[in-house]
């Protein structure tokens, strides 16, 4: 996992440095995002009175497809552990889209954020949950777990003789021997000796309790949640290996151990303070010219609907009311035919930072292949390493790959860095297929290999269209 920073540690230059590990070029966009992040932090430190006056410095990223607009946003969100949602602005202009529910973006953000908070809390109780899971498994293996219990703690209550008055002595002896067995199982579990043994456990039966109500899909109402867990969780018996049972039981236990209200509160707060909403295709909600009728009216309508959210308002969600004041909005689009200045003035004012991203050069492509962390080349190397294949790229092969990608972008559609994926997939298609079967497990990709696949000159590119993402 990447190191997470506190916002105060993240000076703009530090942020840009971090982004440089994954994204080549686009200095201006990196700086803009870094500053926006810092400004949000600065704003949060102001007095209430001053804060009201300072408007957030939301950003619009302009540039062709596949040059890093989404990637920069994703990386920045990861860097500060910020909940992020992506929406397509055009979704709100769709014909038949009733009510243009733009608030759904905030509800989605909060849901994402609360889920994240739950996972974080569950992670923190993981050791406890795993210990509880092992207890359950040991009980089960020792035959000490007959009845279903609602809590995961050790289930002695359920095996105490409380029904027919029977020969107590016999019962006690039986119980003693089972307890001894349980101790033995616990030790063997701890030693990892039972991982592949089969065990039958009670698994909570999720699903079936979620119903959608017409027009309220976004509210995502879960009946069980609505009734605060009044409906007993259904369980079913499943037999599986101990290692799998532990994972499932530990998840169930962790889910029980965490405080859901705490998760909700943390989630809401993180969404409000750190949330990022990425509005893609924002240029597509710009009407072509003033005064036109038809679809353009609805585009401007979408802008008006979005405005209060971006300006700062309170949105009701199933988790409670959420303030949008500090949420960072990043708009993105190609802006081929429309300009930012054609947005309605109020919305323009809320996106004061506009940056253009450059289209990527052949040199950029080379750097994307060689200088980024977990680059695509490394990904292929890792994938093939699982087959025992050691994959090596010579420098001149990488140059050639970059060159092919670049010229394919020139001659066909320019799909930016995504082209690298299609080129590499084509290049390694054969090897990917044969990797498990080849004898010589050390494969060197040199320029000749690349030319062999693509031809010294670029040939018919139509053939590669199936690899377009
Ligand atoms: N400057 C860059 N440096 C490194 N990788 C990049 C760069 N630009 C794009 N990529 C890679 O290319 C892919 C597509 O990039 P991204 O999703 O950011 O495109 P985009 O600009 O959002 O395009 P679109 O307008 O189509 O959404 C991603 O896998 C990303 O990692
Ligand atoms: Mg994108």
On the question of pLDDT at 261 being above 50, the answer is yes
229 pLDDT band (50/70/90 cuts)? low
Q: What is the pLDDT of residue 150?
A: 45
Average pLDDT (50-60) is 87
146-181: pLDDT as tens digits = 654 444 444 454 555 555 566 788 888 888 888 888
pTM over 0.75: yes
Helix, strand, coil shares of the chain as percentages rounded to 5? 55, 10, 35
Q: What is the pLDDT of residue 8?
A: 81
56 CB less than 6 Å from ligand 1?
no
Report how far ligand 1's centroid is from the alpha carbon of 66 (Å): 4
In this structure, are residues 17 and 45 in contact, taking their beta carbons and an 8 Å threshold?
Answer: no
Q: What is the pLDDT of residue 98?
A: 55
389-426: pLDDT as tens digits = 999 999 999 999 999 999 999 998 899 999 999 999 99
Average pLDDT (103-110) is 95
Q: What is the pLDDT of residue 213?
A: 45
Check residues 101 and 463 and name the one with the higher pLDDT.
Answer: 101
Query: Among 61, 70, 331, which residue has the most ligand 1 atoms within 8 Å of its CB, making it the best to mutate?
Result: 70
Q: What is the pLDDT of residue 217?
A: 44
Report how far ligand 1's centroid is from the alpha carbon of 120 (Å): 28
| CA-closest residue to ligand 1 atom 7 | 68
Judged by DSSP in three states, 299 sits in: helix
Q: How far apart are alpha carbons 118 and 108 in whole angstroms?
A: 15
Q: What is the pLDDT of residue 159?
A: 52
Q: Which residues have CB atoms below 5 A from the ion given as ligand 2?
A: 70
Q: Where does the chain hold its CATH 3.40.50.300 domain(s)? A: 7-121+266-356
188-192, 235-239, 259-263: which has the highest mean pLDDT?
259-263
Q: What does pLDDT average to over the chain?
A: 84
Q: Where does the chain hold its CATH 1.10.8.60 domain(s)? A: 362-464
Q: What is the pLDDT of residue 164?
A: 58
On the question of pLDDT at 304 being above 60, the answer is yes
Q: What is the pLDDT of residue 237?
A: 86
Nearest to 201 by CA among 135, 260, 266, 257: 135
On the question of pLDDT at 224 being above 60, the answer is no
In this structure, what DSSP letter does residue 282 have?
Answer: G
Average pLDDT (232-244) is 82
Q: What is the pLDDT of residue 231?
A: 62
Which range has the worst mean pLDDT, 15-29, 136-150, 323-337? 136-150
Report how far ligand 1's centroid is from the alpha carbon of 74 (Å): 10
Average pLDDT (350-374) is 94
On the question of pLDDT at 318 being above 90, the answer is yes
Architecture of domain 7-121+266-356: 3-Layer(aba) Sandwich (3.40)
Q: How many helices (H) and strands (E) are present in the chain, helices listed first?
A: 17, 11
Report how far ligand 1's centroid is from the alpha carbon of 187 (Å): 51
238 pLDDT band (50/70/90 cuts)? confident
426-454: pLDDT as tens digits = 999 999 998 888 888 899 999 999 998 98
- 246 by Cβ neighbours in 10 Å (0-12 / 13-18 / 19+) ranks as buried
Q: What is the pLDDT of residue 298?
A: 79
Can you say how many angstroms the Cα of residue 160 is from the centroid of all Cα atoms in its chain? 47
CATH placement of domain 362-464: 1.10.8.60
Average pLDDT (4-31) is 91
| CA-closest residue to ligand 1 atom 6 | 68
Q: What is the pLDDT of residue 295?
A: 57
On the question of pLDDT at 306 being above 60, the answer is yes
Q: How far apart are alpha carbons 369 and 398 in whole angstroms?
A: 7
Q: Ligand 1: which atom is nearest the Cα of residue 71?
A: 18
Q: How far apart are alpha carbons 113 and 120 in whole angstroms?
A: 10
Ligand with minimal distance to 64 CA: 1
Report how far ligand 1's centroid is from the alpha carbon of 134 (Å): 44
């Amino acid at each position: 996992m990447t190191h997470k920073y506190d916002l105060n540690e993240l000076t703009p230059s530090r942020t840009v440095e971090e982004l440089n590990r994954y994204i080549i070029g686009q200095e201006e966009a990196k700086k803009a995002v870094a500053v926006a992040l810092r400004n949000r932090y600065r704003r949060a430190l102001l007095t209430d009175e001053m804060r009201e006056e300072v408007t957030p410095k939301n950003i619009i990223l302009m540039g062709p497809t596949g040059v890093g607009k989404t990637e920069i946003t994703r990386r920045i969100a990861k860097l500060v552990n910020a909940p992020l949602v992506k929406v397509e602005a055009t979704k709100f202009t769709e014909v038949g889209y009733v009510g243009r529910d733009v608030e759904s973006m905030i509800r989605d953000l909060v849901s994402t954020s609360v889920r994240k908070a739950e996972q974080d809390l569950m992670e923190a109780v993981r050791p406890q949950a795993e210990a509880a899971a092992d207890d359950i498994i040991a009980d089960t293996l020792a035959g000490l777990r007959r009845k279903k219990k609602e809590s995961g703690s050790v289930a002695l209550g359920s095996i105490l003789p409380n029904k027919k008055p029977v020969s107590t002595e016999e019962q006690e002896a039986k119980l003693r021997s089972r307890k001894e067995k349980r101790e033995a199982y616990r030790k063997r579990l701890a030693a990892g000796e039972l991982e592949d043994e089969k065990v039958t456990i009670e698994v909570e039966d999720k699903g079936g309790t979620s119903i959608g109500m017409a027009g309220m899909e976004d509210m995502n109402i879960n009946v069980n949640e609505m009734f605060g867990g009044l409906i007993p969780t259904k369980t079913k018996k499943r037999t599986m290996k101990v290692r799998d049972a532990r994972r499932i039981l530990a998840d169930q236990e962790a889910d029980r151990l965490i405080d859901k209200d705490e998760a909700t509160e943390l989630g809401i707060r993180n969404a409000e303070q750190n949330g990022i909403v990425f509005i893609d295709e924002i240029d597509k909600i710009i009407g072509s010219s003033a005064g036109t009728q038809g679809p353009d009216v609805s585009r401007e309508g979408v802008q008006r609907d979005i405005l209060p959210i971006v300006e700062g308002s309170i949105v009701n969600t199933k988790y409670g009311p959420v303030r949008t004041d500090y949420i960072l909005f990043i708009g993105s689009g190609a802006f081929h035919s429309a300009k930012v200045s054609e947005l309605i003035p109020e919305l323009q004012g809320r996106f004061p930072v506009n940056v253009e991203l450059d289209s990527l050069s052949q040199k950029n492509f080379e750097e994307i292949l060689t200088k980024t962390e977990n680059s695509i080349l490394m990904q292929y190397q890792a994938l093939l390493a699982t087959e025992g294949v050691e994959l090596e790229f010579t420098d001149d092969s990488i140059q050639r790959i970059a060159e092919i990608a670049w010229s394919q972008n020139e001659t066909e559609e320019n799909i930016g860095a995504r082209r690298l994926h299609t080129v590499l997939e084509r290049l390694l298609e054969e090897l990917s297929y044969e990797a498990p079967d080849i004898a010589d497990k050390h494969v060197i990709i040199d320029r000749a290999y690349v030319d062999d696949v693509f031809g010294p000159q670029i040939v018919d590119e139509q053939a590669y269209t199936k690899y377009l993402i």
